[in-house]
Chains A and B, each alone.
Chain A
Amino acid sequence: MIKPAALNVKKISKHYQDGGRQIDVIRDLSFSVAAGESLSVTGPSGSGKSTLLNLLAGLLELDDGDMSLELKGKIFSYRAANERSRTAFRRQYIGYVYQFFNLVPTLTVLENVRLPARLNQQPELERHAATLLGDFGLSARLHDFPETLSGGEQQRVAVARALLLKPPLLLADEPTGNLDIENSNLVADLLFSSCREQNISLVLATHSTEVATMADTRLHLDTELQQNPPSQDRQSP
């Protein structure tokens, strides 16, 4: 059964100005992701993977096209939103995991995970933070500061924080790019399984073929984007 799309991306474009020259990073890109499904975005450096994720997070403004996310019966349209409402939307409905610098260095592990609940004034979720960290094998590190954690541990904390609010959309920008194979597999498993269990749509940018193949759908971007429309392959989980 084909699930209804939660995230719809329709013919979006984004360009940067470099002096007098316009660089088209994304042009006429369309795809969709259903609730609880995952999409991996692959492509060489400079192909626009991070730009796409930043557009989906509302950190960047679209130049053309539109994107929408279904939120409990409502539809959030990126095109119609200003910077302020995009910020409020991101706070409430988007989880984000970066490759580096994922954690606020001046907050403890527990505080980092609780931060989204605090920002959204959902104290009931704060209690869940410790449980979530326990599930991720970090119950002994709750009150440590990030600088004392290993890269793998930091990334697991980041995933826990992104999942705490059970957002409809979770974005991950090369979340395993900085990890060894063991930690990479651990973090990827956590991400995919948690999103599937909690019906969260996941968009994940990666260079890793292994991680990319774990997604329900793959989107390949390349530097020849302007000439060749991107390919979106559907594959069996």
Chain B
Amino acid sequence: MIALALLRFLARTPWSTAMALIGMALGVTSIVSVHLVSASISSRLDGLVPGALAEYSHYLHRDNLNTADYFALRKKWRAGTLPAITQLSPLVDETTTIEGQSVRVLGADLLAGPPSNGTTDLAEQFSWNGAWVDQSLKGQLSIPINGIIDAPKGTLLADIATAHDLLGWPTNQLSYVGLTLGNAFAGTIETAEKLLPGFGAGFPSAKPTLNLAPEWQLVSNAEQYPAREFGKSILFNISALGMLALLVAWLLIYQVAVSWLRRLWPVFDRLHVLGVEWQQLRAYFLFSIGLIAILAAALGLAAGWLLASWLLEMASPEQEINLQMDRWVIFKAVGSAVAVGLLGGTWAFHRSKGKTSRSYLPAILTILLLTAATWCVFQPQTGIAGGFFAIAALSLVASQTIAPLLILLKRGASVIRGSYLLRIGVREALWHPAELSVALAGLSLAIATAIGVALMVDSFRVDFSQMLDHRLKYDLIAQGDKAALGKFVTTKNTTKLADRIQVYRNTDVRVNGLSMELNFTRMDTFESSRYGYNGALDSRDILLSEQAARSLQLSVGDPLTVAGKTIKISGIFSSFGDLKPRLIADDRNPLANALAAELEVDSVAFKSDRPEALTAGLRTQFPLLELRLQSDIRRVALKTFDQTFAITTVLITIALLVAAISVYIAVTTMRLNRQTGRLLLNTLGINRTEQLMMNVALGAGLGLVAIIIALPLGLMFGWILCNVINPRAFGWTIELQLSAEALLQSCSLGMLAAIAAGILQGGDHEEGAFGGR
């Protein structure tokens, strides 16, 4: 009988039922889409490291490494003096040209077991002299191919002896030693990575101390593959933004549960008066919310899949989209909807029975969270995870302040002036803290995220644009074919069309075990100014990129030893977008002589009044050169920049939409529970236009309350992103610009979302739980 009463109620209020379902489904959609996008990017980034090396967490390097060094190390390990190492293996890794193809040859001890991860067998007869290659090399080489492996383009994996043969190396030569170091948190990090793809990058990477001779340099996976690390850091930003979207979605699901209960409460109240036990009523309520949660999870999974496909298509149209709907995303979607729905419902039921007691716990928790957030912000060793913990903690604290703020504002509500209808609308937004605080917390969070990210992106764009202004002082850049570049330089080819020709040579060096790019060029006043350095750079000095300075923990004036030469650091330049830490020295620097054999011409830059004509001339003379005009580089750079943050913008829009739906559901429930108030105003002769005005005022009131919380919170987010997270994630600092446009745009979007939630009148025809006439 009770179930029948509830089912009839659901059928008689189809709009409210549909809104609960849609609201929860939207929450799940945002969770699923963010997860799928992050997982897809993470999988692409993992593809940057050959599968055969995936099992190693660290690498050991030393000059002229050979098998004797390796076996000495192995002996030490077997004697138990290196307990942190759980596995070690010799590796060969070198790029060479085989049959006209540039091939990265990886040699590993395959006697321990041939590659299996992501491998497709090809050969009918397995050959130890054969190799495994990535898809791009299939059919390109004459050596026997055993199978296709998941690896970056141009990778070949072979047994270590075969690799020696292919490279023409002596049989005792090695590149480095692969290590797996024991990590007590590896399992936890792996699970966290599955649940929040990209989150693993946020855990501070431990650098264990091994009892080894100083010639050995321990390098982590992140340092060995900086490109992947850079990508993972961007992904972590998106993933952390996804965490905020998850929080907003959970608030929405909780809001749906609260609103659902408020709709049913009058029925429950009367049934309880008739003798039905609260426990039984709670079971019915939880069953109904569970049913909605399961349906919403199914809808959200489908919608999230579509949304993720669209987002990836928009962000990287040239790449194939490969989304994996694995058990983790299903668990996350269904778990979020059902768990938050049921737990939130149980809590709301508990509160509705008036069983809440005054407790100091929220205040104590708030103080603890604020202390922990402050500690994380000012302690660099907490890594980017510490930065995002601070954001999450501040979000929780802010969401806790909504209800007290509403109560405070309500006390001073009589000072609100202006039209009476405006007063009614705005005050309505302050009058019902219990019903609106959850939805308003979601909206505040979404607006704060929009403000924080917009400030960060705007500040980043200003700095990036300034850097481009500095760097792009040349009109034409020639890159590409090394032979053609070499020929251009050695023939001392000059052209009347160029006012200035600048040649850049580079090589990779290891400084304190870290792989860095070392550039040499003529560092006169003009060139030095491109890196923010005044005057010509002394031939014994060097400039460091911000990333390099941060990795080496050095600053201006410190000495630095590179390839056995000690030089002075004269300046540090910003290096947005650099994949590797970078050093720049003058052509005449003693280092240039020391490394002369390894230096290659990387690019040549030209200053010219007629860059197009110069391009045409060079193209005819050196058809293999890649020639790019400065204006094109700037356009492409800014386009790439904007594309990188396009996903961020869409995720914020989703969070705002989800928050607006949450507010709408809360407002609709509030209206349905207060139909008598509306009837009174109707009796007083309020017409439709005036009702609309009041609804706009209500929405504006809600938006205003949300902005009061969101503005300081968003500024804090922006500051943390620019001064804490970016330096820790990428090694660069962004100067926070308080862009009025970014603030106005985010606040306006939030205000519009709130007003839309206030104006929408769906379901007004429905009656409360007990309709009357």
* A interface with B by C-beta (< 8 Å): 16, 50-51, 57, 59, 84, 87-92, 94, 96, 98, 100-108, 111, 114-116, 118-119, 143, 145
Contacts and interface: CB of A to CB of B under 8 A. Distances in A.
Nearest to A117: B420
A65 B414 CA distance: 46
A104 B680 contact: yes
What 10 A-B pairs come out closest when comparing CB atoms?
A91-B685, A106-B427, A101-B676, A90-B685, A96-B683, A118-B420, A87-B687, A106-B424, A87-B685, A115-B420
B423 interface: yes
Nearest to B698: A106
A100 B772 CA distance: 14
A101 B683 CA distance: 12
15 contacts: A16-B773, A50-B773, A51-B773, A87-B686, A87-B687, A88-B687, A90-B683, A91-B685, A91-B686, A102-B680, A103-B680, A106-B423, A106-B431, A115-B420, A143-B414
Contacts of B431: 105-106
Contacts of A90: 683-685
Contacts of B414: 108, 143, 145
Nearest to A120: B685
B130 to A, nearest CB: 81
Interface in B680-727: 680-687, 690
A226 B773 CA distance: 19
Given A101-B677, A104-B677, A107-B423, A59 B682 contact: yes
Contact of B685 (A103, A114, A119): A119
B413 interface: yes
Interface residues on B, range: 20 to 34
B277 to A, nearest CB: 30
A116 B686 CA distance: 10
A138 to B, nearest CB: 16
Contacts of A87: 682, 685-687
A16 B773 CA distance: 10
A100 B686 CA distance: 19
B428 interface: yes
A143 to B, nearest CB: 6
A115 B682 CA distance: 13
A87 B689 CA distance: 12
A84 B687 contact: yes
Interface-centre pick from A57, A119, A143 (highest chain B CB count, 10 A): A119
B758 to A, nearest CB: 14
B212 to A, nearest CB: 73
Contacts of B428: 106
A180 B679 CA distance: 25
A9 B681 CA distance: 25
Interface in B407-465: 413-414, 419-420, 423-424, 427-428, 430-431
Contacts of A115: 420, 684
A55 B676 CA distance: 17
A91 B773 contact: no
Contact of B684 (A84, A91, A105, A143): A91
A78 B680 CA distance: 20
A98 B680 contact: yes
Given A90-B684, A115-B684, A118-B420, 12 more contacts: A16-B773, A51-B773, A87-B686, A90-B683, A94-B683, A104-B681, A106-B428, A106-B430, A106-B431, A119-B684, A143-B414, A145-B413
B462 to A, nearest CB: 44
A59 B773 CA distance: 12
A116 B421 CA distance: 11
A133 to B, nearest CB: 16
Nearest to B687: A87
Nearest to A147: B431
B682 to A, nearest CB: 7
A223 to B, nearest CB: 15
A34 to B, nearest CB: 24
Contacts of A105: 431, 677
Contact of A57 (B419, B424, B683): B683
Interface-centre pick from B420, B681, B684, B773 (highest chain A CB count, 10 A): B684
Contacts of B773: 16, 50-51
B685 A88 contact: yes
A37 to B, nearest CB: 22
A92 B424 CA distance: 20
Interface string B118-148: 0000000000000000000000000000000
Given A101-B677, A106-B431, A143-B414, A111 B420 contact: yes
Contacts of B413: 106, 145
B436 to A, nearest CB: 13
A84 B691 CA distance: 13
A51 to B, nearest CB: 7
A107 B685 contact: no
Contacts of B677: 101, 104-105
A104 B422 CA distance: 13
Interface-centre pick from A101, A106, A107 (highest chain B CB count, 10 A): A106
A100 B685 contact: no
A118 B690 CA distance: 12
Nearest to B676: A101
A109 to B, nearest CB: 10
Nearest to B682: A59
A91 B690 CA distance: 12
Contacts of B424: 104, 106-107
A52 B649 CA distance: 57
A23 B427 CA distance: 40
A148 to B, nearest CB: 12
Nearest to B416: A106
Contacts of A51: 773
A164 to B, nearest CB: 11
A113 to B, nearest CB: 11
